A and B are shown apart, each in its own frame.
Chain A
């Protein structure tokens, strides 16, 4: 008797279990389907049509024949052609300054040079005196200086306007090294005054934008924000090539008197205001 009872109970429990399991599975599947339907809602991707300005833009550069050496040509390519800094007051004034530094033959004395005083007797018995030492070429210094400044801009973020103004200010900062420009030197100007005078003569179209001269004044006063300029300049001096040079006494550049010139065309050529002719 007991066995039969226990057996029926077990069978009933088993049947109930199986039934319940089936129901659970069905519910599960239904729930999963509903969730899937909710999640997966395939949408058609929208087509976006962008309209670019495809009009032809004409960009005019200066001819590279303006420059004598490949250094200045490369700098022009790097600044103007690659970076597309072709805003007009900047473009022409950069070319003017580059031309001046490209064609100059002035020098500064090297740091590791000895000065040897020579006194040599010629065959006719006269003496010739001079001192020999080693010099750096200024055009090479300026080209390397600009190259290193551009490299610095690549590593540090500066805005486009700041880059342009710093480049111009750095060039004007070193313009008093150019000996040939001293024929327009009026009376005794201080270093800062001379720079400002020459700078305003050359950057005459830049007058609207005084930022160049503001940065120039920051460089002259050794402001904290432009300390990198000095570091870059010192680094360029370390890796310059030295050339032997003899100086026979002091070389003076006489100021040219324009009024005495007979020809009108010559007067125009030598006129002070148009430095770009130089």
Chain B
């Protein structure tokens, strides 16, 4: 019965980020847990981060964010995160999705960017099972996220990623 039992396995979260858009600095953070015996990774949390700010914090909100991206123009004021808006660039009115961050800055997302982000979202979650994510989604607190971010180097300044 030789077996490695990691007491703190439950609390260890491996955070890996997928950059959905470089210019707007939009990331998809996935929190994994790793089984130390079978070396398998299970996804336990999916979160969207823009700049240095968390936008969503669980799978339901993240799916909502994605669907708002997919709908683009067809969305309306019932949207939660992304609101369709129009602005003029070189005397030409263009439609885009806008989101205001906590520090007051506004980010506009064009149609092609939205499409690319959705494509990357689909690609980044391929090969993982969603059953564990849906059944045992880890309820995170501020403290656990802070420790996880610190362990994976997201609090370090100038991380090349």
Contact = CB atoms under 8 A, between A and B. Distances in A.
A115 B57 CA distance: 17
Given A114-B52, A115-B52, A246-B142, A121 B58 contact: yes
A144 B154 CA distance: 27
Contacts of A113: 155-157
Contacts of A132: 142, 145-146, 149-150, 155
Nearest to B61: A121
A120 B52 contact: no
Nearest to B101: A117
A113 B158 CA distance: 9
A120 B155 contact: no
B140 interface: yes
A117 B155 contact: no
A114 B156 contact: yes
Interface in B8-25: none
Interface in B125-151: 139-143, 145-147, 149-150
6 contacts: A116-B149, A119-B57, A119-B102, A245-B146, A246-B142, A246-B146
A134 B52 CA distance: 14
Interface in A83-142: 112-123, 128, 130, 132-134
Nearest to A120: B57
Contacts of B61: 121
A114 B147 contact: no
B16 to A, nearest CB: 16
Nearest to A132: B146
Interface of A is mostly: strand
B146 A244 contact: yes
A117 B58 CA distance: 16
A244 B149 contact: yes
**Max chain A CB contacts within 10 Å: which of B55, B61, B157?**
B157
Nearest to B49: A116
A112 B55 CA distance: 24
B142 A128 contact: yes
Given A113-B157, A114-B155, A114-B157, A122 B52 contact: no
A174 interface: no
B154 A118 contact: no
B156 A112 contact: yes
A244 B155 contact: yes
Contacts of A214: none
Contact of A128 (B141, B147, B149): B141
Contacts of B52: 114-117
Given A118-B54, A132-B149, A244-B155, 16 more contacts: A112-B157, A112-B158, A114-B154, A114-B155, A114-B157, A116-B155, A117-B54, A118-B145, A120-B54, A120-B57, A120-B141, A121-B57, A130-B142, A134-B150, A245-B146, A246-B146
A204 interface: no
Nearest to A245: B146
Nearest to A243: B150
B139 A123 contact: yes
Interface string A238-274: 0000001110100000000000000000000000000
Contacts of A112: 156-158
Contacts of B157: 112-114
B53 interface: yes
Nearest to B139: A123
A122 B58 CA distance: 9
B53 to A, nearest CB: 4
A120 B139 CA distance: 10
B46 to A, nearest CB: 13
Contact of A120 (B49, B145, B154): B145
Contacts of B142: 118, 120, 128, 130, 132, 246, 248
Nearest to B147: A244
Contact of A122 (B139, B147, B155, B158): B139
A201 B97 CA distance: 60
A117 B142 CA distance: 10
A116 B54 CA distance: 8
Given A132-B149, A245-B146, A246-B146, A116 B53 contact: yes
